[in-house]
Amino acid sequence: MILPDLIQSSALASMQEQMVLITGGEILLRDDRIKQQWRVEIAPFFLAKYPITQAAYAAIANQSPSCFKGANNPVETVSWRDAVHFCNLLSAAAGLRPCYSLGAETAVDATADGYRLPTEAEWEYACKAGTSGIRYGELGAIAWYKENAEKTTHPVGLKQPNAWGLYDMLGNVWEWCSDIYDETVYGSYRIIRGGGWADEPRGCLATNRRRSHPAAFKIDDLGFRVARNKS
């Protein structure tokens, strides 16, 4: 019998090994809904090579919420609050300062050294990996989407990575980002990026911005990956 603390330790070690250092730079974001563009400076940060898997989620959060079962498949059917709660648990397990205070309102400590969700600017910057197109490669080679996914998620890391060694940035599952989408219009809705297994090609673009409720919205093509500040 494998003890729970050993399972957690193994998951933590695996997570620490897969964090990729993303060098700083800048990204031009756009929102086609409001026809606006804005430039964001990106400080160096760490981003997970893969979306969080079901095995990692179960080891840290002791839960198995996904509709499509598979230890190495991305965890899905998780809300934004589920994702940031996982980040806090992972931080605590690693002896790091958690980034989120989860009360009636979520507060974020931007200086904390723990795990967090990437901002959408960090996400798009990392996804493009120095490229300027709508994708970092040919869609079928880099992503699980409607035409090749066969109506299910797939184990992470089977498709080609981008130039910075990040897998499944497009397709497989959408990914929660830390940002509020447009507070004046949508309140606390948070941003999701990347497209999922059920999406047409037009859904799997580095530039797509969508949003949903941080606590109420859970679906079988939405997961997350984690980031950390570079100290």
pLDDT in tens, 157-190: 999 999 999 999 999 999 999 999 988 888 899 9
HSE-up (13 A, CA, CB side) for residue 229: 13
The pTM assigned to this predicted structure is 0.94
CB atoms within 10 A of CB 218: 17
Q: Between β-strands 174-180 and 222-223, what pairing exists: parallel, antiparallel or unpaired?
A: parallel
Mean pLDDT of the chain: 94
Closest to 60 measured CA to CA, from 23, 102, 99, 115: 115
| 3 state SS of 102 | strand
Confidence label for 4 from pLDDT (cuts 50, 70 and 90): low
5-9, 10-14, 76-80, 164-168: least confident range: 5-9
Q: How far apart are CA 176 and CA 12, in angstroms?
A: 21
The answer to whether 153 touches 170, Cβ cutoff 8 Å, is no
Confidence label for 142 from pLDDT (cuts 50, 70 and 90): very high
